[in-house]
Structure 1
């Protein structure tokens, strides 16, 4: 037997595995690195987060990624070169973290690498007649380069199996959220406020798992961050929501932004900065004569847009404003934005909000942890089916395996 396959078989039979989960989101702030100890698999999964860090990207790294990020036309040569370059970069960042944590690579069983999404093309969003009805997504940061650079077996490219099984490739949180964060005591809404906002609905453990599902809701931080970068060069985000809190919502612009058919589409649904980017905002501003709107008022309006998108999706699930809501647990960069959290509380009155830290999962580490869970399932678990109908999550094992040698 190939020695690498024998090693993998041994890992699958161990009672626990030490896995580094990696996540690089659409905000491009850096690489999230979570060193996890995962015991068991499936419904018996137990996780201990040993270490976590976000390794910040330099301006040069952001510049390179933005050359191809969410762009319809790019240099094919540049894209081809960026793929292995990002893999080697992420490998170096993993080794940097392990050195800081005084953990030898030989003591890590797996790396779970999400890679960097550079283009997301669900069927409802792209306009390519030659590929009508086809969902697609692309993540860079080749897994072979991560494995070779770290010396650790790497599981990567998780989204492609979801696509191949009929899904849209995002969001994938349902699997890990259900395994780690379901509770017999309460139903939960796990709200991730990343570049794109999304949530996972979890029924109480023991209830019908077919009601569990994940969906995108619209922009989270992506338009806020893009506006800051355009108006205040050198800044990457509105720290503590200070500028947005100083502004006033423009009702006309907000109405034009919410008039997009995405917000009325059936759940679950997925989207990305390809749709909710500067062109979308510029078109709404041209329509409403608000191109000269002050920065604070524009940010306040975009915060309201993000919150309204979440609230509309939540109400699609739970009905009228008077219907009781499950407990809401937040994660992602937007969980640190008081302006956005305040807007969400206004749009979802009566909902009890808390951070996922209350569940033992640091909000900044949550996505990296979830990919560690997916890698654990790929090696030691069995496919899990969740949801039903359009909300069905296919029962698949996600991730491609790369050997270090």
Structure 2
């Protein structure tokens, strides 16, 4: 038997596994690295988060990613080079963390790498006849595996698409196994570049789903980067706090069929782009709106998309609790809009034992654990929610 295959078999047979989960989102903040210990699988999964850190990207690297991100026309040579570079770069960041944590690479069983999304193209967005849902993440896992010497699982979204999904959101596969509760109806709300949530009815009686709901931080981040050079996001909502919501612009922003499309659904910055905002400004007849007022309006726009989706799936007769993660949880204006309009205090996922900033990296570590040990969980027959195991294997030698 090939030694790599034998090693993989031995790892999959272990009662406890040490898995590093990696996540790099569309905000380009940095690489989230979560060192997790897993036992069991499926609904019997037990997780211990041993270490977590976000390794910040340099400004130069962020600009490289922005150069190829969410563009229908991009430099193919640059994408090719970045695919190889990112894989090795991730490996270097992991090795640096392991040194800091005083852990040997040989003590890590698996790396689970999401990669860097550069384009997301579900059919309802690309509208190209005869072509399927599609998505593209770069950061080659063979480079990552060779650099670290650790077997790596990657490219999780492709199996989801091949089996009939849209490649996103994948949060259901972790949220259902980690956060389902016998008595509390839960909404696991993640506000990243795109906002999404998982609906978890009490008692695991079916009806669970994850869905994108619209922009989270993406339009605010894009606008800040355009209008305030050197800044990548509205830290502590300093800009939006100084502005006033423009109702005409808000109405124009909300005027899109995506918001009333059935669940589950997915979207991305390919739709909610600067072109989308500029078109809304034109439709609103407000060409001279101040930057601060634009930001204030975008914060409420993100909140309204989330609120509209939540109220569609939860009746007023069913009490529920919202648990929050993602960079948007640190935007006080956005959170205040949500709490005031929903009439509920938002809680952090930390109250359930998972540090919110680590949640997505932990998800991909969990998907790797399922690929190795589980794969039997039935997620039902909902459209775009195939019951599959995900992840491609890259060996270190």
Task: Give the equivalent residue in structure 2 for 1:340.
Answer: 334
* Separation in 2, partners of 1:291, 1:149: 51
Match of 1:385 among 351, 358, 378: 378
RMSD between aligned residues: 1.2
Match of 1:53 in 2: 53
Give 1:5-404 correspondences, 5 Å limit. Answer: 5-131=5-131, 134-205=132-203, 207-208=204-205, 210-319=206-315, 322-349=316-343, 351-390=344-383, 393-404=385-396
Return 5+ residue gaps in structure 2 as ranges.
none
Deviations 1:330-386 (A, max 9, x none): 00000111111001112312x341010111111110000000000000111124231
**SS in structure 1 at match of 2:357:** coil
C-alpha distance in 2, partners of 1:364/1:80? 30
**Mapped contact 1:307–1:347 kept (Cα < 8 A):** no
Give a deviation string over 1:116-171, Cα, whole Å, max 9, x none: 0000000101132342xx10000000111110111100000000000000000000
Q: 1:182 offset after TM fit, Å?
A: 1.2
Provide the C-alpha distance between the structure 2 equivalents of 1:93 and 1:246, rounded to a whole number of angstroms: 38
TM-score (norm 2): 0.98
1:246 deviation in Å? 2.1
**Take 1:237 and 1:75, find their aligned partners in 2: how far apart are those partners?**
26
TM-score, normalised to structure 1's length? 0.96
Q: Which runs of 5+ in 1 are unaligned?
A: none
User: In 1, Cα distance between the equivalents of 2:319 and 2:265?
Assistant: 20
Q: Which runs of 4+ in 1 moved over 6 A?
A: none
Contact 1:335 1:341 in 2 (8 A): yes
Find the aligned partners of 2:238 and 2:186 in 1 and give their Cα distance.
29
Decide whether the 8 Å contact of 2:196 with 2:211 is kept in 1: yes
Q: How far off is 1:323 after superposition?
A: 4.0
Equivalent-residue separation in structure 2 for 1:335 and 1:325 (angstroms): 22
Per-residue deviation, residues 256-281 of structure 1 (Å, max 9, x unmatched): 00001111111110000000010000
Q: How many residues align?
A: 397
Q: Alignment partner of 1:293: what SS?
A: coil
Question: Conserved in 1, the CA contact under 8 Å of 2:380 and 2:387?
Answer: no
Residues in 2 aligned to 1:167 and 1:368: alpha-carbon distance in whole angstroms: 21
Judge conservation of contact 1:159–1:398 (CA < 8 Å) in 2.
yes
Report the Cα offset of residue 387 of structure 1.
4.1
Q: Is the 8 A contact 1:196 1:217 kept in 2?
A: yes
Query: Deviation per CA, 1:269-297, whole angstroms, max 9, x where unpaired?
Result: 00000000100000000111223211221
Deviation per residue, 1:207-241 (Å, 9 max, x gap):
31x31110000000001111111111001111111
CA distance in 2, matches of 1:291, 1:385: 51
1:211·1:388 contact (CA, 8 Å) conserved in 2? no
Whether the 8 Å contact between 2:19 and 2:109 is mirrored in structure 1 is: yes
Q: Deviations over 1:78-113 (max 9, x none)?
A: 211111111111111111111111111100000000
Q: 1:187 to 1:149 in 2, by over 3 A?
A: same
Deviations 1:17-57 (A, max 9, x none): 00000000000010000000011111110000000000011
What secondary structure does 2:119 align onto?
strand
